[in-house]
Amino acid sequence: MALFVFDFDAEGRAHEGALDREVAEGYWRWVHFDLAAPGTVARVGQLVSEEAAEVLVQPETRPRYLALGEAMILILRGANFNPGQSADDMVSLRLCASASLVVTLRHRPIFAVRDLQGELDGGRCLPGGPGELVAELTERLVDRIEQVSLRLDDQVDALEEAILDPDCPPDVLAPLPELRRASIRLLRYLRPQSETLRRLESRPVDAMVLPQDEIRESANRAQRALEELDAVHQRLDALADHQYAQKADQLSRNGYGLSVVAAIFLPLGFVTGLFGMNVGGLPFDDTPLGFAIVCFSMAGSVILVLLILRLLRLI
C-alpha cells in the first residue's frame, strides 16, 4: 500500500519498516504513499489527524505551510524530470511531519524523494530526526528548481545573442511561445513556494527540531530562483515585443511598397481605362502614331509620378 516505509533509530540509520508493525521505542518512521494507489486515502486517515488528512489528499494543491498542534503540513512543488514530461509541469509533494512520524504523498514520481530513498538504502543516516528529513527534501526540491531556472536563463541568453546576429534565420524566435509558457507555469508555484519556505523558517513547529540554517538557505535559494525566473519572464516579454515590432515593421514596409506601386500605376490605369471606352471622339484614333503617342504619354506620366514622389521624399 505504501511505496516504502523507513524506520529510523536514534542515530538516524534507516531500517526497512512495515505499516502492519508498530514503530519500536526510540525510533521514528517515514512513510511514502502514491496518492493514486487504491486505499491510500483511507490509510493516510489512520496515520494522521482528520484535519491533516483532509489537507493532504486534496485533488489540487498549491505550496503552503500549516501548523497543526505538534505536527505540520508542508506542501511543496518540484521540477518534473519524469521521462516524456515537461520540467515546468511541476510535481506536488505533500508532507505531514511530527516528532515521530513523517508521511509524504505524491501523484507522480519525484526525483528528490527517489534519490534520498536510494541514499538511505545505501547507508545514509539522518541523525537530526524528522526535521532533517524535511530539510533534505526541501533542499533537493529547490536544487532541481534552480536547474530548470538556469536552463531557461541559458536559453534566453542564446535567443538574445541570436537576434543580434545579422545572419540569424527568420525563425530564430520560434521557441519563444513555449519558453514563455514554461516561465508562467513555474512562476505560478514558485511565488507561493518562496513564501511558504519563509513561513517555515520563521514559524517552525515547537515539537519538532528543524535545522534552521538549512531551511533558511533553502528559502534564500528559492527566493533567488524566483527572482531569476522573474527576470527571465521579463526578458521573454522584451523578446516578444521585439518580435512583434519586427513583424509590424515588415508589414509596414510591405504596405508602403504596395502604396508606391499603386501610386505609379494609378495614372496608367486611368489612361488605359479612358482609351478603352468604345465611344466616338477618342484622340489619336485617326492617326497610325496614336498608339505610340499614348505609350510615350504613359511613360512620361510614370516619370512624372516618380519625380513627385521623390520631391516629397516618399521614395
What is the model's pLDDT at position 129?
92
* Residue 4 CA from chain centroid, whole number: 31
What's the DSSP call for residue 15?
A: E
Greatest Cα-to-Cα distance within the chain, rounded to the nearest angstrom: 123
Domain boundaries, the chain: 2-246, 277-311
Surface-to-core class of residue 112, CB atoms within 10 Å of its CB (0-12 exposed, 13-18 middle, 19+ buried): buried
Decide if 56 contacts 73 (C-beta within 8 A). Answer: yes
HSE-CB at 295 with a 13 A cutoff on CA atoms is 5
Strands 101-106 and 64-68, bridge-based pairing: unpaired
What is the model's pLDDT at position 279?
73
The CA-CA-CA angle for residues 176, 179, 218, to 5°, reads 150
Surface-to-core class of residue 146, CB atoms within 10 Å of its CB (0-12 exposed, 13-18 middle, 19+ buried): middle
Site of grid cell 538549512 = 214
pLDDT tens digit at each of 315 positions of the chain: 799 999 999 999 999 999 989 999 999 999 999 998 999 999 999 999 999 999 999 988 899 999 888 889 999 999 999 999 999 999 999 999 998 999 999 999 999 999 999 999 999 999 999 999 999 999 999 999 999 999 999 999 998 888 877 777 878 888 888 999 999 999 999 999 999 999 988 877 766 778 888 999 999 999 999 999 999 999 999 988 888 887 888 788 888 888 888 888 888 888 888 777 777 777 877 788 877 888 888 888 888 888 887 887 777
2-246 belongs to which CATH class?
Answer: alpha beta
In this structure, what is the dihedral angle of CA atoms 254, 257, 258, 264, given to the nearest 10 degrees? 180
What is the model's pLDDT at position 207?
61
Instruction: State the distance between the two ends of the chain, measured CA to CA, in whole angstroms.
Output: 78
